[in-house]
Amino acid sequence: MKLTNYIDGVWQGEAASYAVVLNPANGEELAQVPLSTEEEVQQAVAAAKKAQKKWALVPAPKRADYLYEIGRMMKDKKEHLAQVLTKEMGKVIEEARGEVQEGIDMAFYMAGEGRRLIGETVPSELQDKFAMSVRAPIGVVGLITPWNFPIAIATWKSFPAIVAGNTFIWKPATETPLMAYEMALIFEEVGLPHGVANIVFGSGSDVGTALIEHPDVRVISFTGSTETGRHVAELGGRHLKKVSLEMGGKNAVIVLEDADIELAVEGILWSAFGTAGQRCTACSRVIVHKDVKEELQKRLLESMQDLTMGDGLDETVKVGPVINEKALEKIQSYIEIGKSEGANLVAGGHVLNEGKFATGHYFEPTLFTDVAWDSRLAQEEIFGPVVSLITVSSLDEAIEVNNSVAYGLSSSIFSQDVNKVFRAQRDLDTGIVYINAGTTGAEIHLPFGGTKGTGNGHRDSGVAALDVFTEWKSIYIDYSGKLQRAQIDTE
């Protein structure tokens, strides 16, 4: 299947060049994705700009009605969307269903915002004067998304954008364009006015750059690696764009001496090896108290034996493939780095490429122990099924080690002591903190994002997402019939 861009409600013609989209589980060709150019971006921005004027005049509750329809259609197509998602991204089908559900939840949640979009009324300091602030749409927004959550992240961005009265151009990752294609079909089927939702496929350097540099694109909402995000921020800054960045992570589970070890093992397995470790919130470090280190390690190693690997469409599989050959090489390079740094490789550490694994991209769930907290293995984002066990002697030390990385997305702590966990949630320098759960499992009505190298202060999800896609407009209405001046003493 050859995909085409979706601009102004119209599926566009053939592109000059394409990239091939492969199923990471078996190497099967799924589609060809256009490698668009600046010209297509200009066309999409022009359509979005024209549509936005009308769209902003549609009352927000009516804009929200389209989101209810989109949510209902996603619900009807949930199994189909999940199957396509597993094929193009590789995550196991249970997780794919969960990701689609996140999108459905986001549709209904943001549709509800159509009847709120809450502003503020406040007293004026002057008599016979009324003061309020409202959320105003910004205009045309550009959405740049990664391959690891090809549908959920797009809904976190596009749904608040449109309910607030903006129109958008979405550039999905070239590895996972099929979810964008499926969403465009849904936008078309629910009759979303032409030009409100536009999809332009292509590389980050061509399409992404053209979006960021275009003077009519007022907001860039980006999710991806910190390296790319830094570039997006620099370029966006030069063009004075509002740029929202959600980037990498190096998340840790802390296991204290009084933890429920069985529960901690379950939490670690799910957050470290789910999606083959390719979540921004993946647990990549386990910071364990020395008194329970041996027990935790033993139970973790035993449980890791039960992680069946294979094609995520097989319901019995727990760990699917990683996205491509480049990812395998990166993970392998960190195995070598870990060994050279003196960490102890106690499980996994290999690419699987024989038998049923021969045509896919599989890496064994891997555990290093005795990892130095400041080693590269413990500090850098690997984005694969690799966990580093770091031993500490106290809660203070655990928090310090957790906070030592350049990222600040998610952290978790297992302990039965309410004083310790309350103290920890205060001091853990991450945007998300879990108590007695792994590092993953965000719910869409709470803000999602992180500190330091993970983000630049904005958030996806929750009402906070509306801050990215609206401007605060302050309105003063003077009904005194005379010129009143604030801050001037008229007595």
Q: Which residues bind ligand NAD (CB under 6 A)?
A: 144-149, 153, 171, 173, 203-205, 208-209, 223-225, 228, 231-232, 246-249, 280, 381, 383, 409, 454
Q: How far is the CB of 115 from ligand NAD (least distance, A)?
A: 27
Question: Of the candidates 253, 323, 329, which has an alpha carbon nearest to the alpha carbon of residue 284?
Answer: 253
Please name the residues in contact with 251: beta carbons below 8 A apart, sequence gap of 6 or more.
271, 281, 282, 283, 284, 285, 407, 409, 410, 411, 412, 430, 439
Contact criterion met (CB below 8 Å) for 160 and 465:
yes
d(CA 22, CA 32): 9
CA atoms within 13 Å, Cβ hemisphere of 123 = 3
Q: Count Cβ atoms within 10 A of the Cβ of residue 306 and give its class: 0-12 exposed, 13-18 middle, 19 or more buried.
A: exposed
Q: How far is the CB of 442 from ligand NAD (least distance, A)?
A: 9
Judged by CB, which is closer to ligand NAD: 174, or 369? 174
Judged by CB, which is closer to ligand NAD: 265, or 466? 466
Judged by CB, which is closer to ligand NAD: 69, or 246? 246
Q: How far is the CB of 377 from ligand NAD (least distance, A)?
A: 17
Amino acid 167 reads T
Judged by CB, which is closer to ligand NAD: 151, or 264? 151
Q: How far is the CB of 108 from ligand NAD (least distance, A)?
A: 21
Question: Among 99, 102, 246, 364, which one carries the catalytic annotation?
Answer: 246
Judged by CB, which is closer to ligand NAD: 226, or 297? 226
Residue with nearest beta carbon to ligand NAD: 204
Q: How far is the CB of 246 from ligand NAD (least distance, A)?
A: 3
Judged by CB, which is closer to ligand NAD: 69, or 95? 95
Question: Of the candidates 10, 24, 393, 390, which has an alpha carbon nearest to the alpha carbon of residue 176?
Answer: 24
Rg over alpha carbons for the chain, rounded to the nearest Å, is 24
**Cross-strand bridge partners of residue 309:** 319
Question: Of the candidates 310, 67, 19, 311, which has an alpha carbon nearest to the alpha carbon of residue 178?
Answer: 19
Please name the residues in contact with 7: beta carbons below 8 A apart, sequence gap of 6 or more.
40, 43, 44, 47, 198, 199, 200
Judged by CB, which is closer to ligand NAD: 71, or 202? 202
d(CA 232, CA 243): 8
Contact criterion met (CB below 8 Å) for 295 and 452:
no
Indicate if 188 belongs to the active site: no
Q: How far is the CB of 170 from ligand NAD (least distance, A)?
A: 10
Q: How far is the CB of 12 from ligand NAD (least distance, A)?
A: 19
Judged by CB, which is closer to ligand NAD: 165, or 462? 462
CA pseudo-torsion sign 232, 233, 236, 241: positive
Q: How far is the CB of 158 from ligand NAD (least distance, A)?
A: 14
By annotation, the residues acting in catalysis are: 246
